[in-house]
Every structure is written in structure tokens, then in C-alpha cells.
Amino acid sequence: MQTASIFSFHGGIHPAENKAQSLQLPLGRPSLPSELILPLGQHIGQSSRPLVKVGDSVLKGDAIAINNGFLSSFLHAPTSGTVSAIEERLIAHPSGLSDLCIILTPDGKDTWTTLEPLNNWQDISKTDVLAYLSEMGIIGMGGAGFPTQVKLQGAHKNPLTHFIINAAECEPYITADDMLIREKTLELVLGIEILQHLVEAENVVIGIEDNKPTAIAALKTVLTQRNSNIQVAVVPTKYPSGGEKQLIQLLTGKEVPSGQYPADIGILCQNVGTCVAVHDAIKLGRPLISRFTTLTGDALNASQNVEVLLGTPISHLLDYADANPNALHRLIMGGPMMGYTIDSPLVPIVKTSNCILAASKKELPTPAPEQACIRCGMCEQACPASLLPQQLLWFSKSQEFEKAEHHNLFDCIECGACSYVCPSSIPLVQYYRHTKSSIREAREANVKSDLAKQRFEARKARQDAEAAEKEAKRLARQKAAPSKTTDAKKATPAKAAPAVAEPASDDSKKLKVDIAIGKSKLKKLQKQLLEAQEKEHVEDINSLQLQVSDQEKTVASLEAQLANVAQAAPAAEATPAPANDELKKAKIDVALIGVKLKKLQKQLDESPDDQELKDKVAGFEADLKAAQAILATLGASAPVASAPKAAANDDLKKLKIDAAIAKAAVKKVEKALKKAEEINAPEIDAIRQQLQDAQQRADELEKALANPEAATQTAETTTAKAESVADSANADAAKKRKIDLAIAKAGIKKAEKNIQLLKDQGKDESEINASEWPKKLIEAQEKLATLESEQPTPATAKTETKAVPAEAQAAADMDLATQIKKEKIAVALAKAQINKLNKRLENSPEDTNSIRQEIDAAEKRLQSAEALLEKLIHSQTNMQENR
Amino acid sequence: MLTVLLAIGMLVLLSLVFGAILGYANVRFHVEGDPIVDQIDALLPQTQCGQCGHPGCRPYAEAIANGEAINHCPPGGQSTIQALADLLDVEAVPLDGDHGTETAKRVAVIREDECIGCTKCIQACPVDAILGAAKQMHTVIADECTGCDLCVEPCPVDCIDMVEVGVTAKTWSWDKPQGIAATSLNIIATDRQAEVVH
Ligand code: SF4
Ligand code: SF4
Ligand code: SF4
Ligand code: SF4
């Protein structure tokens, strides 16, 4: 054992020690309280996560909470018993707030769980030892409760010159560490040796104030006996020599730079309590479940130190120490300098509670009122951190946080020395604490707002990128349109020939994609054409018509190929599904609009003069009607039978398509003719004849197209004619019908998609109705119906019948599922409505009756919806069982 | 006479030389200053709620730079107004009540069993703090939620609540001492201290 050299630190004070009171009685061991309150946040960092449930019985030393992240800790049952609750309880905190606690009711047996000491700690890796310490719930027992394993890990950053054991215990009244050293000298030394093994520092020094002669003597004896190289440094009594940075300065002469940790300059500090806990954990296998605490103060008749189980309520300890409730003026957790007042004696002892000070009025009077700072400079002289307290006070008062930080506010250890000496009784520390927490809050808010900004900007960037991509695609398509057409034209003959010869060998997927692209181009061109026609731009019309017909040809030929390649594909689609979807959508629309309407009406009730609201309500009512109308039409039957308002424009379009098909037919026949000529086929004449027919038909259609007014009447006949011509032509009739079917279906899909798109864009029903899509949808459905009602060719029929059985079942399933979903939504909506109505009922007692009626109606609706839902679910389960 | 002219000539020459040096330095060592909009934007709370009448905080920052009043942001409250006033060197004014009142910090919570999975709230959330997919249950990532309220209105079944984030022991902060005026009627504090010193 060697003696270490002692340095000194700036400032410091010598308050009355008041340590003798609690050292007169020997160490006490209070009885088991009726319940133990174990807060989950006894340490710095994240609160622990409970491992037990209410009602679980635990043994003494069982883990009851597990660490929750890096800076967190385990928690163990201090005695055996049952978990009676996990709930919010008042905790020892300056805020007087509650926090989540595990409440343990002791069974009185105090049965230990099986203890497994870590006997081979010298042989296993240090990381494993650290992990073990963490599992034993060991945290720094001196100050803030920093998880010990984290601190030890941090000590590996730099080679350690000093490992300091803090036994200074400088704060008045407190003698817990003194008593601990006296009682557990050997355990302490063994604990230090274990820690030294883990950190391997050059020097190990115990720093202890000279007001603890008994403890010093005990230590020295043990150290000499063990021939240990641990040094004991006896420092003069001065507050706050027990501050980590102050003790380091005292023992090494080194100052921890502002904003850094002792580990950064190769120093590690541990409290004596922690060392003993480490010993108990490794040598005895005992987790941290009890601690030494000083009970002192004038209000106690039996001031003493106690070894107390964590979670013991302070009231229990006050009883044990024979408190005089009349004398008790202020209850303080910690010492008179750094402690804080607690409002309730029900708060429990935690891992960091080193002292309970039950002070009488005389002992700790209410602080004198604050006076103005007289700039005496005494605070500066007392400050152990060499700060300028009066400057800091000034900045704190005027909320100049930046300047306060600049003057190293965060180096203040909140020791209270400045407040102690201030002749104006200014509560300086409280100002600093407030300022510190304000700054911390502002920092956190900043971090949060930065995050929000990032996320907001990321979202915006994403949305912009999506929009730009769409735009780029659109432009590309527009640009590619003419060149693509020629490409396609070039490509078609080559592709078409083998398609006729060997139909199955083509890549149908590619074709489909081509068709989709071609169709959308076509749509666009047609739209442009329409616009041009409306505005009577003659040149545009011509060139556009040209493009349209080209495009139509491309699409038609591509589709012809596709039809060849995948014969089953187009017919396989289940037609009722889209209609059903439509129906469902319409119903949801009705419901949603209804809810919106209700919301608005409610608002209107609250502020009846709001014209804007009235307008909105009116608008929504119109929407509702429109949506209901749609619902009615859709509900009548899946493919709607009548569309009286099909405008001339749409007929024109139909006509155009027919014309295009006819033209395509002409092209095809021409092609065939050419080929026939090439190989000198005998059918040349027949083909010539067909060509003429086709041309005639195309001309006819063209004429009709040029004369839109007449189109309405001619359309039907031309179509018929065109079809007969096409039939007579070499083109396969079944193929054509399939194409028509596919076109019609694609039309339906497209219209639906567009309607959906409009909805997604937040357009409401009236706008959607105003657009052309609903009409188109109906029209397309009509066409589909006509096409299907026509005698299907054998090929189509075959594929269709083949597809039916499997599909019918799937469709039925789908139906049921969608219906159930729908009903569920209806139920949710009805519930929401009832909620809303109830709220309204509370708000406006005047029209109780009408609201009641509404509620009744809504409830009825809810009931019927629920009943239906039940039925549906029932039938679904039935169906599944039957299968 | 000649001396005078010489002196003038010399001074003119010198001023030209220094002017050239300064001009060069101005270009060569030009420091890109933080544009004022960025500085204002940095002070705004980034709740992106639009209560200020702008579609997000940055547009409001731009508007402030163009002379709009600094007291239109309720989530920022008085502290933001103060910070803006300091930055722009204008008078700090109370929050404009037309745009809303300063409320305690809140986050959105979706009552998950009532959610019908319509994705409307996702589209409304300016900071992507809502997780979900069509016809699936949605939930709010509380840590990312700025409490802007924007998701509440679009929900067709009204299953989103704004819940106040209370103070916990971990987020609690010390009160500011009351100061001189509030506590003291005795001018000479030591008078009273003398009675109770033991
Ligand atoms: S409380 Fe802070 S400012 Fe006051 S003396 Fe202690 S370290 Fe210095
Ligand atoms: S000790 Fe008190 S009165 Fe003296 S300078 Fe410091 S704050 Fe001011
Ligand atoms: S009111 Fe404030 S938080 Fe909301 S968008 Fe405007 S600046 Fe941002
Ligand atoms: S979840 Fe709701 S309240 Fe929270 S940020 Fe998103 S939109 Fe705003």
C-alpha cells in the first residue's frame, strides 16, 4: 500500500458536516415493508422493460425487468413474493411525477433464487464479464446511475492511467459510504480488484476525505494484509471534493476538459457502492437488490445507516428511524446541497438513493427571498468548476442561451456552492438547471424539426420525381408516336407472315405490351383529332386523321397477332367482376359522400351563417344524388342496357374505329395479294375481289367519318356491312370478334381506370360525371354486351366454356369476399356516424329529438349491416366447408 | 504647386491600387452567406401543418423574407416569434390568433381496429409518418409525427385522435425561479436569515 500525492481544486466550501448523527447507531436492517415499489427507470437512459406479469410469483434475485437498449439496465426482485401490479407510482424525482413501477408484495419468506456466481471471471473474456454485470443490474450508485458496464466499456477508449475509487462522500449529513467501507472493507477491496482486472489501469487510488478516520484505518488494514498495490489518498475535507471532476483534479492534478469525459484523459471513476455491488455479483452471484442509505435529520429520533431493499417506501424507513412527524419540515432525497425535496413519503428507495434527510424547520429553513445580485464575486470564488456564476445567472435570467453555453454552463456540476455563499440568497443552481433543461429541450426540438424537414423534403422530392417521371413518359410517348408507327409498319409484315403460318410461336407478352402502348397512343391521337375537329383546324385534322388511322392499323394488326398467339386469353376474362367492382365502388362513394355531408351539416349547425359551408353542403348533396343514381344504374344489371345520352362524338369514334378496322382489312388483303402475286398463287383473283370489297367498305366508312352528322344513322349499317365484308374477306371472323371483344373489354378497363384516377386525384363525383369516362364506360359495356350476345364462333365458345367452371367458383368467392368487405365498411361507417351523432348530441342539446331520430336510423342501419355481414360470413364459411 | 499635384497624383494612384486589391479580394474570397430564407426556415418548427396559410414551413419562410408578419405560426408559438424577431431585428409580437393557438405537443394515434385501410391519411401526412397499405390497418409512427392534424380530417371513419404528449419524468424540466419581485417584500434578506441560522 502506498500513499498518493494530493493536489487541489479551485473554490469549494466548508458547510457544517452534520455527519456524526447518523454514525452513532450501528447499521440497521429494516423489516420487509408490505410492498416494494420498483420504478423501471432507476438509471440514466431508457427505462427497463418488465419481464414479469401481474400475478407472477418471483424469488429474491429473479430478474423482473430487462434492459431496453444500450443505455439501460436490468432490475431484480429484492425479495420473494408476487407481482401485484405494474402501474404508475410516484417516484423519487424533483418533478414529483409518477412513472411506471413494478409493485411486489413480499411473501415474507425471502427465499433466494439459485445463485450462480461467476467463479471463472478471471478466465472468460472481459466482454462476457461486462455483460454479466449488466445482467446483474449494476449501475453507478453515487450519482446519476450510469450503467456500469457502459462506463467500463467507455474506459477502453484510452489506456487508463488512473482508476479512482470515489469514497470522498463530501456532502454534509451523508455517511452511507463511510458505513459501507467500515462494514464491507474486504468486499470493497475484492470488488476493486475485479474492476482493476477488467480495466487494467496503471494506478488504482481510493480517494477518501479525512473526516472518516475509522474507514481509512479499516481500509489500510485490509490493504496491508493483502499486500495490495491499491493506494489510499486521504484528501482534506472540502465540499465538493466528491465531484468526479474535482476528485480527479485532487488526485491527479489533471483537469477534465470542458465537454469531455474522464475516460478521454485516461481516467475512470467508480463509487465504492458500485465496487461492492460488483463483488457481490461476481463472487456471490447476487444482483443489485439492496443498498446502504443514510437516514438522518433532526426529525428522526434514531438517525442511522441502513442496508435497505430497493423499492422500500420512504415512509417505512421513517417509521423505522422513529420519525417525529411534527418536527418534519422538509423531506429531502440526497444531501442538503445536491438533493431535492420530495413531496410524498410514499416514494421508494432506488439504486441511487444515498440519503434521506428528514429535516426540521430549524435545520433547513425555507430559503430566504431572492435579492438582486450585488456583484460581490463570492460565487466565482466558490465555484469548483471555475465558472462565472453571476454571468451565468445574468444569461439565464435573460434567456440568452447561446451566451450561457459559451460561458460553459454545461460544465456546472450543480453543486450549489455558489448558491450557498451568495449573500443575496439567489437560487443560482435552480436558474442553471432551468436554463440547462431549456437548452436541452431546444436541442431536442431542433433535432426533431430537422428530422421532420428531412422527411418532408424527401416526400416532396419523391412526389416531384414521380410527377416528372410521368411527364417524361408522356413526352416520350408523344415523341415516339410517329416513329413507332413507321417501325410498327415495317415490323408488321414480317411478324404477320409467320403469325399466319405458325400462330403459337410468337411472344404474346411482348405483343400485349405493344398493343397497350399502341392503344394509348391511339386514344391520344383520337382526342387530339376530336379537339381539332371541334375547333375546325383543317390541316391538323388531315394529318391527325392520317396518324390515327396508321395507329389504328398498328393496333389492329398487333391484336390480330395476339389473337392468333393466345387464343384463350381474351375470352377468359370474367366480365361480371368489373361490373361488381363498379357497383361496390359506387356504394362506397354513396356512403362516403353521406358521411362527408353529415360532417358538413354538423359544421353548418354550429355556424349556420357560413355561406361557404352551405354551398359545400349543397354540392355534396348533388354529389350524393349523382352517386346514388350511378349506383341505381349499376345495380340494375352488370352490363347496363341503356345509354341514352351517347353523343354524336362517341358514335364518331366508333365509326372511326370501324373505319380503321376496315382499312386494316384493306391493308391486309393488299398484303395477301402482294404475296399471292409473288408466289403466283391461283387465288389471286379471289383476293383481288376481296380487296375491292374491303376498299369499298373503307371508303364508305371514310365518307361517314367525314360527315359526322350522318354518322349516327349510318353507323349501324356500316358496322354490319363492314362485318360482313370482313367475314367474306380472308380474315378469320372468330379472330375479329375476339379482337372486338378485347377492344371492348380494354375500353371498359380503361374507362374504369380513368374514373378511378379521377377519384384518386380527389375529384368528386360530379366532376367525374362531367368527364367523358363514365359515358365511355357505359358505352363500352354496351358494346361488350352486344358482342357477346352475337353468336360466338366455335373457337370463342370453346374457350369460354372451358374457362367457366373454375372461374365461376372463383368469382363467387370473390363476390362473397368483396361483399363481406363492403358490409364491414358499411358497419364501420355506420359506427362512425353514430359516434358523430352522439358527439353532436352532446354539443347541441336543442335539437336533441332530431338527432335522436338520426341516431336511431343509423343504429338500425348498423344492425341490418351487421346482420347481413354475419350472414355473409356464415355463408362464406359454409362454402369453404363444402369445398 | 507641383508638390500638391504630386500628392494628389500619389493618393489617386494608391486608391486605385487598394481599390483593385479590395475588388479582387471581394471576388476571390467571396463567402456564400446563408440566405435569409434558410435561416428563417431553420427557426420554424417544421410541423408542415399549413396553419400559417402556406403549404409548409419553407413557403412561410419565403413569405416572411418577403415581408409577411412573423406571428402566423401557432406550433412555433412565442419562442419561435422571439427567435424570428431576433433574427430579423424586428419587434416580437404576440401570436396572431386567426391562425390558431399554441397547443401542447400532440401526436396522432389511429384507433387501429376501426381503420378501414383507405390510405387517405397517408396521402395527407406531410412527413410520411403513417404506415399502412390499401385495405390494411394503418398506424402512426409516433416519433416521426409532428402533430400537424392534417390526417384527422381526411379519415372517412374518424378513427384518428390527436393525443397530447404528457410530461414524463424523463422529459420534465426545471421551473425558472420566480425572481426577485415575486418573492421578496423584505428588502434586507439577511434580516430574516438571522432568525433561523442555527
Ligand atoms: S453550482 Fe455550478 S456554478 Fe455554482 S458553484 Fe457549483 S459548479 Fe459553480
Ligand atoms: S455571490 Fe450572489 S451576489 Fe455575489 S456575485 Fe454571485 S450571484 Fe451575485
Ligand atoms: S404554421 Fe408553422 S409549422 Fe405550420 S406550416 Fe406554417 S410555419 Fe410550418
Ligand atoms: S401522422 Fe397526422 S398529425 Fe402526425 S405528422 Fe402525419 S399528418 Fe400530421
Distance of CA A74 to the CA centre of its chain: 27
Instruction: Please say which residue of B99, B120, B153 terminates a domain.
Output: B99
Query: Does B13 fall in a domain?
Result: no
Atom of ligand 4 nearest to the CA of B148: 8
Nearest CA to ligand 2 atom 8: A373
The complex's ipTM?
0.78
Neighbours of A390 (CB within 10 A): 21
Query: Does B20 fall in a domain?
Result: no
Cβ contact A453–B173 (<8 Å): no
A553 close to A521: Cβ distance less than 8 angstroms? no
Hey, is B107 helix, strand or coil? strand
A793 has a pLDDT exceeding 50: no
Q: pLDDT tens digit string along A580-599?
A: 556 656 666 666 666 666 66
Is B159 labelled as part of a ligand binding site?
no
Structural domain containing residue B130:
106-164
Same-domain pairing of B112 and B89: no
Q: What is the pLDDT of residue A272?
A: 93
Same-domain pairing of B55 and B78: yes
Backbone angles phi, psi at A641, to 5 degrees: -90, -25
CA separation, residue A24 to residues A305, A688, A802 (Å): 9, 128, 101
Which residues of chain B are within 8 Å of residue A824 when distances are taken between CB atoms?
116
A106 close to B178: Cβ distance less than 8 angstroms? no
A788 has a pLDDT exceeding 80: no
Q: Which amino acid is at A327?
A: A
Query: Does B77 fall in a domain?
Result: yes
Instruction: Please say which residue of B99, B116, B138 terminates a domain.
Output: B99
Cβ contact B174–A437 (<8 Å): yes
In angstroms, the CA A518 to CA A301 distance is: 98
Q: What is the pLDDT of residue A499?
A: 41
Domain boundaries, chain A: 21-360, 575-721
- Tell me how close the Cα of B187 comes to any Cα of chain A, in angstroms: 8
Q: pLDDT tens digit string along A551-576?
A: 666 666 666 666 655 454 444 344 44
B51 close to B100: Cβ distance less than 8 angstroms? yes
Nearest CA to ligand 1 atom 6: A415
In angstroms, the CA A331 to CA A325 distance is: 11
Stretch A199-212: mean pLDDT, rounded? 92
Query: Does B65 fall in a domain?
Result: yes
Q: How large is the angle between the packed helices A794-843 and A576-606, nearest 10 degrees?
A: 10
What CATH number should be reported for the domain holding residue B153? 3.30.70.20
Neighbours of A124 (CB within 10 A): 13
User: In sequence order, which residues have a C-beta less than 8 Å from that of residue A318 and are 6 or more positions away?
Assistant: A295, A300, A328, A345, A356, A358
Q: Using CA coordinates, name the residue in chain B closest to A593.
A: B156
Same-domain pairing of B112 and B155: yes
Query: Does B134 fall in a domain?
Result: yes
Same-domain pairing of B111 and B156: yes
Stretch A811-840: mean pLDDT, rounded? 70
Question: Burial level of A564, CB count in 10 A (0-12/13-18/19+)?
Answer: buried
Q: Of the ligands numbered here, which is closest to the C-alpha atom of B149?
A: 4
Stretch B151-171: mean pLDDT, rounded? 87
Count of domains observed in chain B: 2
What CATH number should be reported for the domain holding residue B88? 1.10.15.40
Place of cell 366508333: A654
- Higher pLDDT residue, A211 or A620? A211
Query: Does B85 fall in a domain?
Result: yes
Kindly report the pTM of this predicted structure: 0.62
Strand partners, A76: A63
Q: How confident is the model at residue A863 (pLDDT cuts 50, 70, 90)?
A: confident
In angstroms, the CA A180 to CA A185 distance is: 7
Cβ contact B177–A425 (<8 Å): no
Same-domain pairing of B50 and B92: yes
Same-domain pairing of B129 and B79: no
Backbone angles phi, psi at A305, to 5 degrees: -95, 145
B63 has a pLDDT exceeding 80: yes
Same-domain pairing of B86 and B118: no
Same-domain pairing of B41 and B95: yes
Nearest CA to ligand 2 atom 1: A422
Q: What is the pLDDT of residue B33?
A: 60
Q: pLDDT tens digit string along A333-382?
A: 999 999 999 989 999 999 999 999 999 988 888 888 888 999 999 999 99
B67 close to B90: Cβ distance less than 8 angstroms? no
In angstroms, the CA A120 to CA B122 distance is: 56
Q: What is the pLDDT of residue A802?
A: 43
Which among A751, A765, A761 is positioned nearest to A592, based on CA atoms?
A765
Q: What is the pLDDT of residue A634?
A: 58
Cβ contact A452–B144 (<8 Å): yes
Same-domain pairing of B52 and B69: yes
Instruction: Please say which residue of B81, B99, B117 terminates a domain.
Output: B99
Question: Who lines ligand 1 at CB under 6 A?
Answer: A 382-385, 387, 389, 412-418, 428-429, 432
- E-assigned strand segments in chain B: 106-110, 130-131, 139-140, 160-164
HSE-up of B120 (CA within 13 Å, CB side)?
18
Q: Is the peptide bond before A240 cis (omega within 30 degrees of 0)?
A: yes
| CATH 3.40.50.11540 for the A21-360 domain, yes or no | yes
Same-domain pairing of B47 and B95: yes
CA B172, B173, B179, B183 dihedral sign is positive
Lookup: cell for B126: 406531410
Query: Does B87 fall in a domain?
Result: yes
Q: Of the ligands numbered here, which is closest to the C-alpha atom of A421?
A: 2
Q: What is the pLDDT of residue A807?
A: 52
Q: pLDDT tens digit string along A426-461?
A: 999 999 999 999 999 889 888 988 999 888 989 999
Cβ contact A371–B116 (<8 Å): no
**A422 ligand 2 Cβ < 6 A:** yes
Same-domain pairing of B94 and B117: no
Q: What is the pLDDT of residue A834?
A: 74
Q: pLDDT tens digit string along A757-771?
A: 656 555 555 555 555
Q: Which of A368, A592, A824 sits opposite B156 (nearest CB)?
A: A592
Q: What is the pLDDT of residue A225?
A: 92
Query: Does B181 fall in a domain?
Result: no
